[in-house]
Structure formats: structure tokens, C-alpha cells
Amino acid sequence: MAWTDERVELLKKLWAEGLSASQIAGRLGGVTRNAVIGKVHRLGLSGRATSSRSSAPRRGAITRHGKIERRRLSARRGNVALKRLTRRNTIRRPAPVEELVIPLHERATILTLKESMCRWPIGDPTEEEFHFCGRKKDGTVPYCEHHARMAYQPVQARRREKRFASG
DNA sequence: CCCTGATTCGC
DNA sequence: GCGAATCAGG
């Protein structure tokens, strides 16, 4: 699919809003995240404000798409020695009840929703702003931790409702 | 393994 | 100019 003026403008807008390349690709449709990244570079938009990534590749050994060199580099990776032990937070807060406001750049549409994303619907499906939660979920439930609590309400909450209902 | 952006280069 | 393949990294 061609980079029409409209699509380029949309790309610029979404990139400025902080959407990731894959998210933008999902919204545009017809392009991969690689295409988006490539276009971003050609437009000179790369390097978003607070991205202090220094992922520039090491120079020197890479010839072309040299497979030998790649393998050598890959073999040299993975020297993870010690990980800091983290203390678990023992304080448990009660489950929140209010709906969360999902930041614009984290919202998922039907096109960007992945298997690993929370499918809790937010808003009116007939409206443009309709989206899904989109945060990370585990494999056992279709929702993130927060929305799982809303979907499967704890016994306590139901007891309270029952009590209200009966008197 | 999920994801992120960056780079190279055949097309 | 385009973007797949591949990279480095969280």
C-alpha cells in the first residue's frame, strides 16, 4: 500500500502521540511495523523525545547481511550473570472498583488487539473512541488483572450486595 | 517469548 | 523510496 499524503500525515500524528511502530502499522493497515519504522526514518522523525535508547549496532564486523558474522555476534550475547533479588511487597491493597482510564497510546482496537492483551471493552462500540483495555493478561483469562477482578467479583463483594438486597 | 526502535541493502 | 531481515535491547 502506498504512502499517500493522508497516510503519511496519520503516521506523523500517531508517531507524535507516542504510539509504537506496530500500533501505528495496525491502525494504518496494509503495512508492517518495519514499514512504519522505515518511513519514520526517511521522514526524519526518528528519536522521539524521551527515548534514550542507545541501540545503535556495533560497527566493524558486519559485512553485508553476512550470516557468519551474525552468528558470531549472537553467540557472544547472553552473558546474564547475577540478577538483583527483589523484595516482595507484602502490603495488599483492596481490589479497585472504578474503571481505569487507559492512556491513548495503550488503547487497543479490534485490529491491534493481540492474544496477550486484555479484551475488556471500554466505551460505546458504535463510537469512534471505542477501544479495548489492551494491557497485558495471562493465559488463563481474557482480561488483565484489574478487569479480571471486575469480571469475576470476589465473594466478599457479592456478599455485600446480597446483604443490601435482603435488608 | 513478548515487545521496542535501528540499520542495511536488494528491489 | 520501500520494507524484510536482522540487529540490539527491555
pLDDT digits (tens, 9 = 90+) for A86-132: 333 333 444 444 566 777 667 788 778 888 888 988 887 777 778 88
**Nearest-CA residue relative to C1' of B4:** A20
A39 and A102 share one domain: no
Supply A111's cell numbers: 485490529
Residue A113 placed within a domain = yes
Domains held by chain A: number: 2
Residue A157 placed within a domain = yes
Nucleic strand C near CB of residue A34 (< 7 Å)? yes
pLDDT of amino acid A42: 95
Residue A56 placed within a domain = no
Residue A126 placed within a domain = yes
| Structural domain boundaries enclosing A24 | 5-43
Three-state SS string over A27-86 comes to: HHCCCCHHHHHHHHHHCCCCCCCCCCCCCCCCCCCCCCCCHHHHHHHHHHCCCCCCCCCC
Nucleic strand C near CB of residue A37 (< 7 Å)? yes
Question: Which nucleotide is closest, CA of A115 to its C1'?
Answer: B2
Residue A144 placed within a domain = yes
Low-confidence ranges of chain A (pLDDT < 50): 50-97
pTM: 0.45
